[in-house]
Structure 1
Amino acid sequence: MRPLILLDVDGPLSPWAAPRHAKPAGYVEQSLRLSRWSRRRLRIWLNPAHGPTLLALASPAKAELAWATSWEHRANRQVGPAIGLPPLPVIEFAGPQPSWKFGPVARFAAGRPLAWFDDDFDLFPEARRAFVERRAGLETELIPVDAHTGLTGEHFERLEAWLRKIDQP
């Protein structure tokens, strides 16, 4: 089964908690319209190198990238193009989630190994523990990202090491 690489936007790809005067290296400010009916704009930082880096890491492992973000389908319209990603599958989080994203992600993954970048894994520790133990022998790598810095080289190294590990016969 093809492994999954799951992406959250706020925190990993857009370091929302970074001080305004201390934009992390490589990030570029983007001004995104909240909706086509609104004049309001959202300013976020994105790193255009992240898309090509993720694609390059996923390709040799035949891993599938997917959005695991509250941005849902807007990530394909507004974030992906800004960082060089093609349209990706989207995990939908309709309605209130008693266990945050873990339930919908488990259903989407359907027994596939996965690595997941997010900044909020500690919100629901019991749900996280159950998710990681979802199936014996199923490789699951939760990669926490500090929302002050966003993705860094260390995160990509951790993903690369995990992809090498699951590629072993």
Structure 2
Amino acid sequence: MRPLILLDVDGPLSPWAAARHAKPAGYVEHRLRISRWSRKRLRIWLNPEHGPALLALAGAANAELAWATSWEHRANRQVGPAIGLPPLPVVEFAGPQPSWKFGPVARFAAGRPLAWFDDDFDLFPDARQAFLDRRAGLPTELIPVDAHTGLTGEHFGRLEAWLRA
């Protein structure tokens, strides 16, 4: 089965916790409208090099990229094009999630090797451990990303090493 590479937006691709006036190197500011009914625009930083780097790693390993973000399908409309990603499959998080993203991700990734970039793995440590326990025997790499910095070369290196293994 093709391995999955799951992407969160807030934190990994958009370092939301970075100091307001200290945009990380390589990132470009975007102002995105979060709903068609609101005039407010959300400021996010995205690095246009991330899309091609992720596509190259996924292509070399015959892996599939997918979104695992509260942006859900909006990631395909607003984030992916800004960093050069085509439309990707989306993990859907219908309704409140008592264990955060772990249940929907477990269903989406059923039986497949999985690498996952996110900044919130530690929010629900019991749910994280239960997720990992259920995936025992399946290659699973949770790659925590600091929301102050977003994805770095170290994260890409860790993904590349996992894909090679």
Band of TM-score, shorter chain: over 0.9
Amino acid at match of 1:144: P
How far off its partner does 1:38 sit?
A: 2.1
Specify the alignment match of 2:4 in structure 1. 4
User: Mean alpha-carbon deviation: is it higher for 33-42 or for 113-122?
Assistant: 33-42
Amino acid across the alignment from 1:5: I
Q: In the TM superposition, what is the alpha-carbon distance from 1:66 to its structure 2 partner?
A: 0.3
Alignment gaps of 5+ in structure 1: none
1:29 corresponds to which residue? Answer: 29
Of 15-24 and 30-39, more deviation after overlay is shown by 30-39
State the Cα distance separating 1:130 from its structure 2 match.
1.2
Per-residue CA shift, 1:93-142, capped at 9, x if unaligned? 01111110000000000110100000000000011011112233200000
**Cα displacement (A) at 1:17:** 0.3
The superposition leaves residues 76-100 of structure 1 with CA deviations (integer Å, 9 ceiling, x where unpaired) of: 0000000000000000101111110
Task: Identify the residue that residue 88 of structure 2 maps to in structure 1.
Answer: 88
1:47-62 correspondence runs (5 A)? 47-62=47-62
Amino acid at match of 1:124: F
- Counterpart CA distance in 2 for 1:136 and 1:16 is 32
The one-letter amino acid of 2:9's match is: V
What TM-score, normalized by structure 2, do the two folds share?
A: 0.98
Aligned residue number for residue 44 of structure 2? 44
Aligned to 1:65: 65
Q: Distance in 1 between matches of 2:49 and 2:75?
A: 16
Q: How far is the alpha carbon of 1:36 from its aligned partner?
A: 2.2
List alignment gaps of at least 5 residues for structure 2: none
Identical aligned residues as a percent = 89
**CA distance in 2 between partners of 1:77 and 1:124 (Å):** 29
How far is the alpha carbon of 1:164 from its aligned partner? 0.2
User: Structure 1, residues 40-60: CA drift from partner, whole Å, max 9, x if none?
Assistant: 111100000000000000001
Structure 1 runs of 4+ off > 3 angstroms?
none
- Look up the match of 1:129: 129
Describe the SS at the equivalent of 1:6.
Answer: strand
Partner of 1:103: 103
Instruction: Identify the residue that residue 146 of structure 2 maps to in structure 1.
Output: 146
Mapped partners of 1:46, 1:4: distance in 2: 22
Amino acid at match of 1:93: F
In the alignment, the residues of structure 1 paired with residue 156 and residue 68 of structure 2 have an alpha-carbon distance, to the nearest angstrom, of 17
State yes or no: 1:115 paired with 2:115.
yes
Kindly tell me the number of residue pairs found equivalent between the two proteins.
165
* TM-score normalised to structure 1 length: 0.96
